[in-house]
Amino acid sequence: MSARVFSTARRGEDLLVRGAHIVDPLANLDARADVLVRKGVITEIGEKLQTPAGVRVIDADGWLLLPGFVDLHAHLRTPGREDEEDLASGTTAAAAGGYVAVFAMANTQPAIDSASVLEGMARQAAVDARVPVGFFAAVTLGLKGEQLTEMHELAQAGAVGFSDDGLPLPTAQLLRRALQYAKVTDRFVAIHAQDDSLMATGVMNEDAVSAKLGFAGIPAIAESAAIAQALEVARYEEGRLHLCHVSSELSLEHVARAKQLGVRVTAEATPHHLTLTSDKVECLDARVKMNPPLRTEKDRQALVAAVKDGLIDVIATDHAPHAPEEKEVPFEVAPFGTTGLETAFAALYTATVLTGELPLATLVERMSQAPARLAGIPVPTIAKEQVANFCLVDPQAEWTVDPADLHSKTRNTAWAGETLRSRVRATVATGRLVWEARD
Amino acid sequence: MAKRDLLSMSDLSRADVELILDTAESFLPVLKRDIKKVPTLRGRTIVNMFFESSTRTSTSFELAAKRLSADTMSIKASGSAVDKGESLKDTILTLSAYSPDIIVMRHPHIGAGRLAARYTTASVINAGDGKYQHPTQALLDVFTLRQTLGKDLAGLNVWIVGDILHSRVARSDIEAFQLLGMQVTVAGPPPLIPRDIEALGVKVAYDLGKLREADVVYLLRMQMERMQAGANYVPSLREYSALYGMTAARLRAGQKVMHPGPINRGVEISAEVADHPDTLILEQVEAGVAVRMAILYRTIVGYDERQPGERGAA
């Protein structure tokens, strides 16, 4: 039994992508070549390939061809808040962002806490999902932090892992039981690490910016102390622990030590924590309110370095749509979260690759292959006989993020008004052309 | 002319501040006449929206508008559509339909003024937004100092004492004092001093040992809600008073004492200090009207006219 993804069934495509520069660390490719896809499967990679009759040609001269991205952390709001996002809009935003698979978190209404809810979502995905979608299952019923879900049945239904994300697990004992019991499933437990007593009423990072603006601060120790405790539990139980959206330098020190000790831990970081810092909050716009909060430049640099050396395993968006009427309120009363699927690669390419902080191949590995491996789904790679899972990116494109132009149902993007470099021009997921930019 | 909001001290340059203070000074004679009214803003509409309780600020804004002959409307959160769940955005859109020239707003949340300014063509004046800013208080504070100590405040040393963490007055005054070249120290119990506040260019003290170096001592109200059991910002009112309460014994002759009010006698300030001639609390209240007249006037006629006075005081 492995993690499953679900989407609308369509025939695989016949395509010839001409002239793109392929960057694929797994295939050890960093070269210009043509790629031929027949019935959704890569059949040839080489220079100046012949165009077989009836095959559509995409002229990708000057573009990048990258293994498609896999998002291990998205809030698709369905079931329950389809006004904010549904599987169709969420996966369209994903396709437009170069993603070939997305995993939705379980904090929906109702929560994905039983196999029947998960199976209902799978059926919905078969109708709605442009890009394959998989699902996390909740750790506890209704995310109440009390009673464990039926993890074995949920895993059999295809859950990728277990998480009450959005909320921390309230006690170390509950994390301990979850890690123990999850062993019957061969799945990981993903946690939103947060000490609620230290978080208190905080709404942004505690730093010089919160001192200036007067906002109640969220100290970095609200995350790092919870991570330190969770790592102790995981070490003791030898359980598979995944740390969602690690954001602070203090936390990284604990993760590094745990990995040295052989703890079975993986960690993710988000595009916003890797590209933005808390001084953005001076705009007082709730679009930049998220939890964990945007941290300092020092934290951001430490996080980028951790992505580079592999201490952070994956980049995941924490895509979190919120209705306009919920975000068009004073910062302190707005909910936490930014959308991210459609801007992730461009934001990271602009802020980390073009600045020399991260090699492109490393970024691709953390956004595509590492999360696929962790999820246990086929790993996107540009090689013969592989199902086509890739995206085409114009690295020269420059665009200013206008929330109205994005495909998510809501407009709460932290990058509103930012000028980004590179744009996804086309996405092929499980052999199907799921996205093509209009211009 | 593009509308001009006053949402935080950072909306003002030093020249703007000096223009406001000069304008306020030109209004002072009006307030000393028998007929305390000028026709300057006749036909203008000013809405006062107070989503949070206020005595000093709301009355002085209302009086300032009336002294300038503007039409005023006052709205409080209780008894309005806010009670019925109307959002701030919708309240602002609704009031804007009456085409006011200025909306004066106090709100319990940081940035509420900036949010409101997005949805109205009226100029928004922030009369206090949560813990962030209270720029008109800061302007009347520097006006009071200028009237007392002379026009050049540069080089003066001011200590702000008390609950800095929750104080919009502290945040606005730090900016205003620094803009005019003053040195600022913040002092109080460590849990009530924001982490990293040194980045704002202030010094930090946890005791009053060096208080005598201050030319001006600015006291903040110890807010009772911070004293509730379990909040643990300070162990007790008694210990707070012992460590930070302003008594005559802590002060040297000539040090000016200020306080935005309301004061708690016997907590952050002794009765003796409160009633001392070097204490400027009532001067601050008095300055409030003239300074707010100047702010309303400048918001409507603009900051470009660098010759203050004649028209305003006519």
- Residue A364's closest CA among A70, A63, A90? A70
Residue A278 distance to chain B (closest CA, Å): 13
Structure tokens at B311: 């028209």
Predicted local distance difference test score (pLDDT) of residue B312: 42
Residues of chain A with Cβ-Cβ distance to B130 below 8 Å are: 214, 330, 332
- Summarised one tens digit per residue, pLDDT across range A142-161 is 999 999 999 999 999 999 99
Predicted local distance difference test score (pLDDT) of residue B1: 62
Predicted local distance difference test score (pLDDT) of residue B53: 83
Predicted local distance difference test score (pLDDT) of residue A438: 78
With a cut of 90, say whether residue A1 has pLDDT above it. Answer: no
Predicted local distance difference test score (pLDDT) of residue B304: 80
In chain B, the domains with their CATH numbers are 9-133+288-313 (3.40.50.1370), 136-283 (3.40.50.1370)
pTM as predicted: 0.94
Per-residue confidence in pLDDT tens, chain B, 314 aa: 678 999 999 999 999 999 999 999 999 999 999 999 999 999 999 999 999 888 889 999 999 999 999 999 998 877 677 767 789 999 999 999 999 999 999 999 999 999 999 999 999 999 999 999 999 999 999 999 999 999 999 999 999 999 999 999 999 999 999 999 999 999 999 999 999 999 999 999 999 999 999 999 999 998 776 666 777 899 888 999 999 999 999 999 999 999 999 999 999 999 999 999 999 999 999 999 999 999 999 999 999 865 444 444 43
Work out the mean pLDDT of chain A and round it to a whole number. Answer: 97
> B interface toward A at CB cutoff 8 Å?
87-89, 107, 109-112, 114-115, 130-133, 166-168, 171, 194-197, 199-200
Residues B206, B190: contact at Cβ < 8 Å? yes
With a cut of 90, say whether residue A337 has pLDDT above it. Answer: yes
Predicted local distance difference test score (pLDDT) of residue B308: 46
Residue B207 distance to chain A (closest CA, Å): 20
Considering the candidates A14, A299, A318, A394, report the single residue annotated as catalytic.
Answer: A318
- Residue B106's closest CA among B60, B163, B58, B66? B58
Rounded average pLDDT over A216-220: 97
- Summarised one tens digit per residue, pLDDT across range A25-51 is 999 999 999 999 999 999 999 999 999
A261 — contact with chain B (CB < 8 Å)? no
With a cut of 70, say whether residue A189 has pLDDT above it. Answer: yes
Of B52, B115, B220, which to mutate for an interface test with A (greatest number of A Cβ within 10 Å)? Answer: B115
Residues of chain A with Cβ-Cβ distance to B171 below 8 Å are: 212-214
With a cut of 90, say whether residue A379 has pLDDT above it. Answer: yes
In chain A, the domains with their CATH numbers are 68-380 (3.20.20.140)
Cα distances from A356 to residues A240, A350, A352, in angstroms, run 33, 10, 6
Q: At what angle do helices A221-237 and A172-181 cross, to 10 degrees?
A: 40
Predicted local distance difference test score (pLDDT) of residue A111: 98
Beta bridge partners of residue A102, listed in sequence order: A71, A133
Could you give the CA distance from residue A362 to residue A342 in angstroms, rounded to a whole number?
20
Predicted local distance difference test score (pLDDT) of residue B306: 54
Cα distances from A106 to residues A76, A88, A292, A410, in angstroms, run 9, 17, 18, 19
Predicted local distance difference test score (pLDDT) of residue A152: 97
Of A206, A209, A212, A277, which to mutate for an interface test with B (greatest number of B Cβ within 10 Å)? Answer: A212
Predicted local distance difference test score (pLDDT) of residue B84: 73
